[in-house]
Structure 1
């Protein structure tokens, strides 16, 4: 990532009260996350391949944080309770499907718990993405979320919506659909509540 693009994104997100930091590797981003989150804080964790690759839930639990990660639940009922508790955590960490250089954060969610926690609830939110999720405009970011992220996340979760075969979104009504919630974050009321970590690696869907 060149310096001009970094400066442009820092400026654009700052104007929307969102703090942006750049890192060379996921490991560097993980170290910064551990540094920022106090050991006695509760932490909600969004279902993110990027965070799974960072092994962040395990690290936080081992040092004493209370961690709400639905993927560690033993059954569906427990998973639902964990998702609700995440909404009241001190911190929430997650990935997202796409961001625009203009300063938008675009999410497509199945149940909506991840987007809900990003928008309201936890006092601090960290979003970690790879460079592959940076798009030029809001329209580009929405297209990426619909046509790249949603199909790949559906496949990861064991669903088979039409977009998997068609390689494009058709706004289906399939029972296999995972993209029930399209949420565009255009800014934050509370300055720097939301921190965007951008890593100069390919990461996640």
Structure 2
């Protein structure tokens, strides 16, 4: 079935119960991530504002979670932070320069498409532009993740990417005459560097 005709699997749309969220949080901590569990999107927005220093470069990835929560606007438009996007002067029509924009930012802020109860993260991308800073390029990484993205295991997480996140993103882009596809997938099982990677789990639904 093509992505154009695929209907999002709505079983992946509802926030999980607290017990499952707590299991994911505990497993993430065991795997080397700093974890915050917050009650609301507003709480997540406030927390991220406190976690990102004003004097360090910060790159916001393309993310409905960041856009809908207001976090992207806070970091890129308020003038309070050293936004890579706000300060970029890119050569005209240089697509690769755009894709490499956040590769070496001190901080990268974004989201993921699935968090497993085993403490693993799954991120899919068409271009892969956010994957390099997520994996190792950025000194600090902050992911904001809605409770509907928690799944039992990696197999379910990959299915969520293909049957829910991708169709939702494709539908969004079709409204502006574009389309989406999966070009690259990053699976993060552990974080080797202490305090490098932070996961903000939100008890509410936000993003795809």
Q: TM exceeds 0.5? A: yes
Q: Normalising TM by the smaller chain, what interval?
A: 0.7 to 0.9
Q: 1:79 to 1:92 in 2, by over 3 A?
A: farther
Q: Please give the residue correspondences for 1:104-143 in structure 2 after superposition, counting only pairs within 5 Å.
A: 104-143=120-159
Q: SS where residue 191 of structure 1 aligns? A: coil
* Paired position in structure 2 for 1:17: 32
The two structures have a TM-score, normalised by structure 1, of: 0.82
**How does the TM-score come out when normalised to structure 2?**
0.81
- Cα offset for 1:79? 6.1
| Cα-to-partner distance string for 1:65-118 (whole Å, 9 max, x where unaligned) | 222349x99997366434323111110000111111111101111000112211
Unpaired segments of 5 or more residues in structure 2? 1-15
Query: What CA distance in whole angstroms lies between the structure 2 residues aligned with 1:147 and 1:128?
Result: 21
CA spacing shift, 1:195–1:86, aligned 2, 3 Å: same
CA RMSD of aligned residues (A): 2.7
- Kindly indicate whether residue 109 of structure 2 is the aligned counterpart of residue 93 of structure 1: yes
Residues 62, 150 of structure 1: alpha-carbon distance in 2 compared, 3 angstrom cutoff = same
Bigger RCO of structures 1 and 2 (CA < 8 A, at least 6 apart): 2
> Cα distance, 1:63 vs. partner?
3.5
Q: Take 2:148 and 2:125, find their aligned partners in 1: how far apart are those partners?
A: 19
Task: Give the secondary structure class of the aligned counterpart of 1:125.
Answer: strand
Q: How many residues align structurally?
A: 190
Match of 1:35 in 2: 50
SS at match of 1:99: strand
Unaligned runs of at least 5 residues, structure 1: 160-175
